[in-house]
Structures are given as structure tokens and as C-alpha cells.
């Protein structure tokens, strides 16, 4: 097996042209991020999936940074496989279970590499040979954390109640507020936007580039704003629309400006 990486370009994400140049007849699976964990670049799912299919491969999408904040249409877009966590925009907290999507057409041939009793056709059969369930349950392995699952249940209910389209609308306004503030107040302090300016190509978080990003992130955390530092020079602001108000964001941006000003 050969693994080929596609480095995210200056736009911060993989385009259909870059993917088309990387895949070929030997491509088995392309692993793609819907929202890039650094830049926040929002990839074009139907276009990139089609490129993988044209090469004869399957597309596996990582939705960790989009599930719960950006609408996704896996069946409509012909996606083969998808994975994601539940502790970001799905609100379930660290340690809550990950999830997996397998297109119905692939289920009969989808082998679970870690088979376990929760994925068996008859969970209590305890048979000598593993007989997988015929539905998506076949992808389960062992006993899950009940507390984690209860948290997912509640977190997903909140998203469903608000509606992901409305969450996305607020998310776009939140990120637009950061872009406008950064241009007006952070750029003069040496910080530049490293997320796409096109709202159609932007997910739910924003990254700002500054040479002292690590120290600035620490200074912000000390003042109660907790961003992520990402190597080598990125300050990532994760803006969860269900829990982040515009007033809070404004205050956080002012604290960012103060922390940059002190450098
Ligand atoms: C792009 C991406 N994929 C996957 C994950 C989830 O990793 P894990 O399931 O090990 O927590 C994360 C977590 O931050 C992520 O950013």
C-alpha cells in the first residue's frame, strides 16, 4: 500500500484540481477533510467525491469539524464513507464516542476490522464464529460508554432542535465578525487572516496567523478566552454557534487585540 499526501495549499484546503492530479487507477480510498482543522477551509464534497469516483476509488470524509455546524448531504452527494467525533459541534464532550457512516450500497461488503459482540447479528449468541449484523450495527465493536452516548443523544437533540441551517447561518455571521474585526484591529498588530475570505469556503472556525501565536494563545487563555494554538503560528478560534454569543465573541476579540498589543 502506498500513501500519498496532498499538502493543503495557500487557500488552506484541497481543491478538485489538486485531488484530480493526485488520484489514479491505483487509488483505493481518498481520505478528505470537509473542514480543514487548521485553516477552516470548507471542501466541496460533491465535486471531490466525483473526482475520487472517476478514478475508481472510494471517498472517506472526515466530518469532525463540520458535523453539527455545516449541513452535510452524504447520501445526496454519493459519499462512500464518513467519520467524525461528537465532542465539537455535537456538544457531547471529550471521551464521547466517534461515529461512522457507511453508504447503504457498501454495507454488505463493509467488514469491521475490530469485530465485537455489539456488531453481531445476535448480540447474545456468543457463537464460536462472528456473524455480523446486516445493518450499520455491524460496524460496532464492544460495550460503549453509556454516559458518552447519553451526552451525544442530548447534544444531537440540541442541534436538531435549532436546525443545522440556522446554526450555519449564525456561524457565518460569527466568522464574518472575526474577519471584519481582524482586518480593522488585528492586522495593524501583525496578525493576518489564515482562513478563506469566501464565506462559501469557510467552516465554523477561524485561524489568525501571527509569529508569536503560542505566547498570544497563552495570554488569551489566562484572560479566560481559550483558543487553540496550532503549529507553527496559528491561533484558532472555535466558534460554537449554539453556545457563543456575539457579545462574547466581541469581548474575546478585544482580548485577542490586547494580547497581540502586548507583544
Ligand atoms: C480532523 C480531525 N479528525 C479527527 C479528530 C478526532 O480524533 P479522535 O477521535 O482521536 O479524538 C479530530 C479531533 O480534533 C480532528 O480535528
In sequence order, what are the residues at sequence separation of 6 or more whose Cβ sits closer than 8 angstroms to the Cβ of residue 238? 88, 204, 205, 227, 228
pLDDT in the model for residue 9: 59
pLDDT in the model for residue 12: 82
In sequence order, what are the residues at sequence separation of 6 or more whose Cβ sits closer than 8 angstroms to the Cβ of residue 44? 15, 16
Round to whole Å and give the CA distance between 233 and 210: 5
Q: Are 152 and 96 contacting, i.e. CB atoms less than 8 angstroms apart?
A: yes
Taking CA atoms only, the protein residue closest to ligand 1 atom 7 is 85
Q: Write the CA distances from 78 to 75, 113, 124, integer angstroms.
A: 5, 23, 35
Round to whole Å and give the CA distance between 69 and 164: 6
Residue 10 in this model has a pLDDT that exceeds 50: no
Round to whole Å and give the CA distance between 143 and 65: 26
Round to whole Å and give the CA distance between 73 and 90: 17
> Average of pLDDT values for 18-33?
96
The pick from 32, 33, 35, 37 for probing ligand 1's pocket by mutation, whose C-beta has the most ligand atoms within 8 angstroms, reads 37
- Check pocket membership of 82 for ligand 1, CB cut-off 6 A: no
Round to whole Å and give the CA distance between 98 and 148: 10
- Predicted TM-score of the model (pTM): 0.94
> Average of pLDDT values for 225-242?
96
pLDDT in the model for residue 217: 98
pLDDT category, 139, cuts 50, 70, 90? very high
**Alpha helices, H only, the chain:** 16-22, 45-54, 146-162, 164-181, 213-222, 246-261
pLDDT in the model for residue 7: 85
Atom of ligand 1 nearest to the CA of 36: 1
pLDDT digits (tens, 9 = 90+) for 49-108: 999 999 999 999 999 999 999 999 999 999 999 999 999 999 999 999 999 999 999 999
Residue 11 in this model has a pLDDT that exceeds 80: no
pLDDT digits (tens, 9 = 90+) for 148-202: 999 999 999 999 999 999 999 999 999 999 999 999 999 999 999 999 999 999 9
Taking CA atoms only, the protein residue closest to ligand 1 atom 14 is 64
What is the phi-psi region of residue 107: left when phi exceeds 0, alpha when psi lies from -120 to 50, beta otherwise?
A: alpha
Amino acid at each position: 500500500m502506498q500513501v500519498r499526501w496532498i499538502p493543503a495549499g495557500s487557500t488552506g484546503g484541497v481543491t478538485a484540481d489538486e485531488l484530480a492530479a493526485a488520484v489514479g487507477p491505483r487509488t483505493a480510498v481518498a481520505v478528505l477533510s470537509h473542514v480543514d482543522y487548521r485553516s477552516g477551509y470548507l471542501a466541496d464534497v460533491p465535486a471531490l467525491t466525483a473526482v475520487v469516483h472517476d478514478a475508481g476509488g472510494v471517498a472517506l470524509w472526515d466530518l469532525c469539524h463540520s458535523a453539527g455546524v455545516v449541513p452535510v448531504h452524504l447520501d445526496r452527494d454519493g459519499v462512500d464513507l464518513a467519520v467524525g467525533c461528537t465532542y465539537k459541534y455535537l456538544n457531547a464532550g471529550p471521551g464521547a464516542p466517534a461515529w461512522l457512516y457507511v453508504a447503504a450500497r457498501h454495507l454488505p461488503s463493509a467488514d469491521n476490522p475490530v469485530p465485537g459482540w455489539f456488531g453481531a447479528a445476535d448480540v447474545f449468541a456468543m457463537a464460536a464464529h462472528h456473524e455480523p449484523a446486516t445493518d450499520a450495527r455491524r460496524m460496532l465493536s464492544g460495550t460503549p460508554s453509556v454516559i458518552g452516548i447519553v451526552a451525544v443523544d442530548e447534544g444531537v437533540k440540541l442541534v436538531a432542535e435549532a436546525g443545522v441551517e440556522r446554526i450555519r447561518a449564525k456561524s457565518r455571521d460569527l466568522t464574518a465578525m472575526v474577519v471584519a474585526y481582524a482586518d480593522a484591529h488585528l492586522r495593524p498588530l501583525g496578525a493576518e487572516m489564515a482562513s478563506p475570505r469566501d464565506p462559501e469556503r469557510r467552516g465554523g472556525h477561524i485561524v489568525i496567523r501571527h509569529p508569536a501565536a503560542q505566547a498570544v494563545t497563552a495570554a488569551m487563555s489566562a484572560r479566560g478566552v481559550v483558543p487553540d494554538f496550532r503549529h507553527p503560528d496559528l491561533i484558532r478560534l472555535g466558534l460554537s454557534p449554539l453556545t457563543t454569543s456575539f457579545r462574547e465573541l466581541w469581548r474575546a476579540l478585544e482580548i485577542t487585540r490586547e494580547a497581540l498589543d502586548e507583544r
